[in-house]
């Protein structure tokens, strides 16, 4: 596919991902919290850092569109927090959950399976999510992440060193899903 049709598809997929992030966040109603204003957290370092960490995992597909998609997903994980901004009493980061990671990957992969290979889109969704968690550890410091929602709303505080293995895991998932791109890149370098 040409660049712009692929880019347009990436935008559509990102919009659907945003909708999933918001829909999943209603799970937070099971553990109501006083709503907070999240706009103040939408700083340059917050958004820029998530874009960068997402882009880094995505670029290992050796495909610019995929890297941009990963960067977009990595920011859009936080879209679920918008419910808190609108005064809905959810735990703001409730979709920072392994359940959301798996569900969003399966649903996106299934919806767009005729446009992009299921495992490729699922892999990029998981990898972008992991990059989001990795940067949250850096940016938010020791914050509790409800990794097991909706089964448990207890937050896990991940140690600073976890940033590297989580980001590397994201990279490895992308390398695996797009291995033919990595191989042809290596072949080109050899020539
Ligand atoms: Zn976050």
Percent of the chain at pLDDT exceeding 70:
98
Domain count, the chain: 1
Mean pLDDT, the chain, as a whole number?
94
Ligand 1 mean position, distance from CA 92 (Å): 9
Ligand 1 mean position, distance from CA 114 (Å): 30
- pLDDT at residue 41, rounded to an integer: 78
- pLDDT at residue 110, rounded to an integer: 98
Ligand 1 mean position, distance from CA 78 (Å): 5
Ligand 1 mean position, distance from CA 139 (Å): 9
User: Looking at the predicted structure, is the pLDDT value of residue 43 above 90?
Assistant: no
The answer to whether the CB of 126 falls within 8 A of the CB of 105 is yes
Ligand 1 mean position, distance from CA 181 (Å): 30
Which residues 6+ apart lie within 8 Å of 3 measured at CB?
65
Average confidence (pLDDT) over 91-98: 93
When pLDDT is cut at 50, 70 and 90, the band that residue 191 belongs to is low
Distances (CA, A) of 15 to 12, 22, 144, 161: 5, 11, 27, 32
Pair of tokens at residue 108: 């996106």
Burial class (CB in 10 A: 0-12, 13-18, 19+), 165: exposed
Ligand 1 mean position, distance from CA 31 (Å): 18
User: Looking at the predicted structure, is the pLDDT value of residue 24 above 80?
Assistant: yes
Pair of tokens at residue 135: 């940067």
Percent of the chain at pLDDT exceeding 90:
82
Note the residue count of the chain.
Answer: 191
Ligand 1 mean position, distance from CA 122 (Å): 19
Q: What's this model's pTM, rounded to 2 decimal places?
A: 0.94
Domain range enclosing 94: 3-190
Task: Please name the residue that has the structure tokens 């992009």.
Answer: 116
Which residues 6+ apart lie within 8 Å of 79 measured at CB?
18, 21, 22
124 against 40, higher pLDDT: 124
Which residues 6+ apart lie within 8 Å of 124 measured at CB?
58, 61, 66, 69, 70, 73, 174, 177
Ligand 1 mean position, distance from CA 42 (Å): 10
- pLDDT at residue 94, rounded to an integer: 94
Ligand 1 mean position, distance from CA 161 (Å): 17
Ligand 1 mean position, distance from CA 96 (Å): 7
User: Looking at the predicted structure, is the pLDDT value of residue 161 above 70?
Assistant: yes
Element (H, E) at 177: helix 163-177
Ligand 1 mean position, distance from CA 186 (Å): 34
User: Looking at the predicted structure, is the pLDDT value of residue 36 above 90?
Assistant: no
- pLDDT at residue 139, rounded to an integer: 87
């Amino acid at each position: 596919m040409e660049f712009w049709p692929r880019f347009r598809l990436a935008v559509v997929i990102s919009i659907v991902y945003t909708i999933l992030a918001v829909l999943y966040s209603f799970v937070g109603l099971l553990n109501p919290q006083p709503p907070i204003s999240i706009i103040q957290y939408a700083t340059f370092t917050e958004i820029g850092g998530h874009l960068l960490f997402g882009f880094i995992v995505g670029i290992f597909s050796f495909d610019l569109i995929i890297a941009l998609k990963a960067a977009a997903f990595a920011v859009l994980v936080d879209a679920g927090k918008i419910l808190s901004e609108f005064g809905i009493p959810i735990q703001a980061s409730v979709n920072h959950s392994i359940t959301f990671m798996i569900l969003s990957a399966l649903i996106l992969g299934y919806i767009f399976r005729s446009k992009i290979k299921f495992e490729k889109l699922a892999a990029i969704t998981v990898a972008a999510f992991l990059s989001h968690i990795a940067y949250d550890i850096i940016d938010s410091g020791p914050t509790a992440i409800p990794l097991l929602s909706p089964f448990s709303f207890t937050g896990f505080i991940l140690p600073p060193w976890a940033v590297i293995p989580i980001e590397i895991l994201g990279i490895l998932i992308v390398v695996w899903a797009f291995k033919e791109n990595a191989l042809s890149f290596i072949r080109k370098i050899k020539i």
